Every structure is written in structure tokens, then in C-alpha cells.
A and B are shown apart, each in its own frame.
Chain A
Amino acid sequence: METTIAGQIIDLNNEGYLTDLNQWNKEVAAQIAQEEGIELTDGHWPVLEYLQEQYRNEVPLSIRKVGKSGVVDIKQFYALFPGGPLKKASRIAGIPKPASCI
């Protein structure tokens, strides 16, 4: 599904996640964050970069992994992305929704 975000044409899947990380940039992130009710601050970017790096290295992500990353602890992660931190942060970072079972 193609849509326009921050003036660019972006491919999204049916749950609103980017299907191509190459289409991601900071303006796109800021607008998706706004849809999630989040105003991106200096504290958010290192987390988003960490998630993207893990994704590129094919490392499966979990809240615990983010909590042990040294970038943020779990409480800070929740404070930055209230609700479902990993789900929301992944969407804003332009990477797929974290895998889960069925």
C-alpha cells in the first residue's frame, strides 16, 4: 500500500509498518510518531538507531534486549514510547513489527 508521508511516497503494510527501510528518514519518523501520539525528542533518536542497527544485523528484538542495550532501560523505554514501546518504536524506526507467534 502506497501512501504519502512527509511529502514522500512510502510503502506501508496493512498494519502501517514500512516495508522498505530505505524509504525512512527523520521527517517520516516524526510524522509516524505524531500518529502514535509521540513528539520525538533527543532521547528518542538513539533508540530508533539502535533498533535499525539490530534489524540490519537480523537480530530478533525484544523489550528485554532493548532494556539491556545500554541505550535505555525498560522504564525509560516505556516513558519514551508509552503503550507498546517495542511495537511503536519499531513502526517509527521503519522496521517490521516485532515477530511473535500466531
Chain B
Amino acid sequence: MKDLVILGAGTAGTMMSNHLAKRLPDDWRIRIVDQRKIHHYQPGYLFIPFGTYKEEDIIKPIQQFIPERAEYIQQSILKVDADHNRVYLEDSRVLDYDVLIIATGTDIAPEEIDGMLGDHWHKSVFDFYTLDGAVKLHEKLESWEGGHLAVHISEMPIKCPVAPLEFTFLADAYFEQRGIRDKVKISFVTPMDGAFTKPVASAHLGHLLEEKGIEVVPNFNIMSLDGERKVITDYEGREVSYDLLVTIPTNKGADYVERSGLGDELNFIPTHKGTLQSKAKENIFVIGDATNLPASKAGSVAHFEGEILLENVMRFINGKELLDEFDGHANCFVETGHGKALLIDFNYTHQPVSGTFPIPGVGPLNLLKESRMNHMGKMAFKWIYWNMLITGKHIPFVSSKMNEAGKNFEEANV
């Protein structure tokens, strides 16, 4: 009997268990570990603060999505001993493996910013990257009478890098619907050059912020937060004051990654960008948000990675050369409020492009243009997520490598 162990049963881990259950030879056992009982549809967190989704709309039991062939183990991972091909779990169980797939994603680490945690946490300073944060923020927004809302990114990289911007657009629309938009000042505070930093995206989309009356505070690298004075300060001494701060705290990989000596300074795992093999060991592969790849941390990226990772695990166990093919393909809907959305498509070397998706020249989705159809696409993504993405079914017309037909290209500056 040979052993394949998957760490993490979120988007990527669940998807891989389904892919592998179909392809691995019979003498392989599959085990998958996660600390949770419940799978969260994380893209849904964005809509909870505005009451569009409730908690029960975006959660389902993990077990329901794990194939029969795989054993699901609900436990916290303590450590990987990569030299001896072993995983240690909190209940002191030890799992030996021949091949390990790491898919433990990333989580917020508000403790990384001086003063961010405190009595004010989830009172005047909120996150919406956790279910708990999103639900508490919903309660706050319902009773909020207005003031200065600062939407803030602590540092890059973060998962779903467009989510903060989407939150900002949705907040603008939400306050308008409540009839208090004139009582709310909205700022977007970012460590990057601007809200959109790639030239093509910023040329196409920069106007949206201005139209919606959203102030951008760029190049702001937060050093500390003062919950009493309601001020954030950056490394150059600049201050932004707020009444309500919605922040994306530092994103980090899981703590056991650090204990196992497998991560970088944010516990992301150095990974070969074309093959998804870890740099530390040949029999450890990494997928999804847990990698240090210069690709976006998004469910769509994990999906594109999955096809290549499946192929490479099969090649690895058969002693064949790995495919060096992952191109960083990402594709994200961007909610812009009032029932409209944009769609962006890009990879390691190409900037977001305009054109149509998924069928060249036909669509039905329009890249880089606001439309109701794109919004419907975003809402339909939930169904696709539960029924196709994490169950490892092929999504029609959408391939792991970026399709270059029907799109207007410009090379990215990378």
C-alpha cells in the first residue's frame, strides 16, 4: 500500500481529493486532513456584511465533498517532518506518506500589526476575511449612521486581492440604498501605488473610484493602529483617522508550516512556479493559497493549478518528468455595485486583458467592462464552486492555460 496525504480540505485540497480518487492506482490510499467540519464558500464572505448572503448560505459539511475512496480526518496539523515523510496531528496520530500535497491556504494574522487587536476589534475595526468577522461587520453596518469608513489593506500578498475593492464598491451602493451615502466618507487605503496598479487595469477602471466619490490613499504601509484615537499610522508617520475601519490584516500561511521549517517569513511555501513541486522536497507538492507563487491567491487559480498538479502527481509516481506548465492563470469577477461586475483574466506574464470570456469573440462575459451579465456570472460562481470546482469536474470552455484568442493583449511588465 502506498500513501498520499492531503493537508487542508478547503478549495484546493477537496478538489485534489476528487481528482486523485479517479486517477490514482488501486494500491494507493488517500487521506485528507482538515481542522474543520465545515467547508466555507469564502467568496461569499464579501456579501455577508451587506446582508446579501447569510451564514447558512455559504457553508456545507466538508465530508459531503470528499470522495468515498478517501479517508477524511478532522484534526489540526501540528507538524510535517519532511525528512522522514511524516505528518503529526494534534491527537498525536502520525501519518506516513509517500506523496504529500499541502493545501492549507492562508488566514488573517491581525496580531502582526501593532495595536490592531484590542477592545476595538470587531467594534470599530473589522475584517471580512473570516466568517465571524463578516457576520459581526454585518451587525455593525446595519446600525451604523455614517462617518468615515476606511477600507484598508495591511500588506501584500493577500488572498483575492480584488476583494477589498469590491467591498468598497458594494459599500458605496449599500449606503446609497440606505439613503445615507451623503453621510459617509469612503477612503481606500492601500500599500500599493493605487487601487489598480497594472497600467491596463488602471486605465480601464480608474474612473470607477472617482465616479463613486471614493478617496484613494496610496503607498500607505501601516506600522500601527491606535484603537482609542481611531487612527492608523504608516512607516513615514502619515496618519489616517477613521470612524469605522474595515481592514484586510496581514495574510499568513498556517503556523505548522513555520514549525516544520517549510515556509518563508509569512509561512508561504517556496514552490516551483511551473510544476507546483515544493522547493524543499520532491515528494511534497503545494497548491492554492499556501504557495509563494507570484500568482493571485484565488479559488480560480487553485482550479487552474489543479489540472497541472494532478498530471504531475501521476507523472511523479510513475517516475516521469514533470510538466512545467502552470502559467499563473487567474480570472476574477470584480463586483462594482448596483448589480454589475467586471471580469478580469490574466497570468504571470500578461496583464488583465479586454475582450470576451470564455468563448473568444462571443463571450457571454465581457472582460474589463462593467455589466449585469458579469454580475450574474459572479453569483453563478457559487453553484459552480459547490458542484463543479471542488468536486473536480471539468468546467466547460475554461482551460487551465490562458486562452489568447479573442482578447486584446499587452505584455505585463514582469
Contact = CB atoms under 8 A, between A and B. Distances in A.
B193 interface: yes
A9 interface: no
Contact of A101 (B199, B235, B296): B296
A74 B175 CA distance: 38
Contacts of A102: 161-162, 196-198, 201, 205, 344, 346, 352
B380 interface: no
Nearest to B165: A102
Contacts of B191: 63
A56 interface: no
A15 interface: yes
Contacts of B296: 101
A62 interface: yes
B413 A64 contact: no
B414 A99 contact: yes
B266 A15 contact: no
B221 interface: yes
Contacts of A97: 413
Nearest to B234: A78
Interface stretch (A20-28, A31-39, A43-51, A80-88): A80-88
Contacts of A41: none
Interface in B162-201: 162, 191-193, 196-199, 201
Contacts of B303: none
Given A63-B191, A64-B265, A84-B219, A101 B162 contact: yes
Contacts of A62: 155-157, 266
B69 to A, nearest CB: 36
A63 B155 contact: yes
Contact of B156 (A59, A75, A78, A100): A100
B137 to A, nearest CB: 22
A82 B413 contact: no
A14 B413 contact: yes
Contact of B413 (A60, A75, A96): A96
Secondary structure type dominating chain B contacts: loop
B273 A64 contact: no
B294 A60 contact: yes
Interface in B239-284: 250, 264-266, 270, 273
B264 A65 contact: yes
A100 B266 contact: no
Interface string A54-82: 00001110111100100000110010001
A60 B223 CA distance: 21
Given A97-B413, A102-B201, A83 B219 contact: yes
B413 A78 contact: no
A63 B190 CA distance: 13
Contact of A60 (B155, B197, B292): B292
B197 A101 contact: yes
Contacts of B205: 102
B236 interface: yes
Given A62-B157, A63-B191, A74-B235, A99 B294 contact: yes
A13 interface: yes
A75 B352 CA distance: 34
A100 B414 CA distance: 10
Contacts of B219: 83-84
Contacts of B294: 60, 99
Contacts of A99: 294, 414
Nearest to A74: B235
Contacts of B264: 59, 65
Contact of A15 (B192, B199, B344): B199
Contacts of A74: 221, 223, 235
Given A15-B413, A101-B161, A101-B192, 7 more contacts: A14-B413, A68-B265, A96-B414, A100-B161, A102-B161, A102-B205, A102-B352
Interface of B: 155-157, 161-162, 191-193, 196-199, 201, 205, 219, 221, 223, 235-236, 250, 264-266, 270, 273, 292-294, 296, 344, 346, 352, 413-414
List the 5 closest A-B pairs by CB distance, nearest first: A101-B161, A102-B201, A100-B197, A60-B294, A13-B413
20 contacts: A13-B413, A58-B273, A62-B266, A63-B155, A63-B221, A64-B250, A65-B264, A65-B265, A68-B265, A78-B235, A83-B219, A84-B193, A87-B193, A99-B294, A100-B156, A100-B192, A101-B156, A101-B198, A102-B205, A102-B344
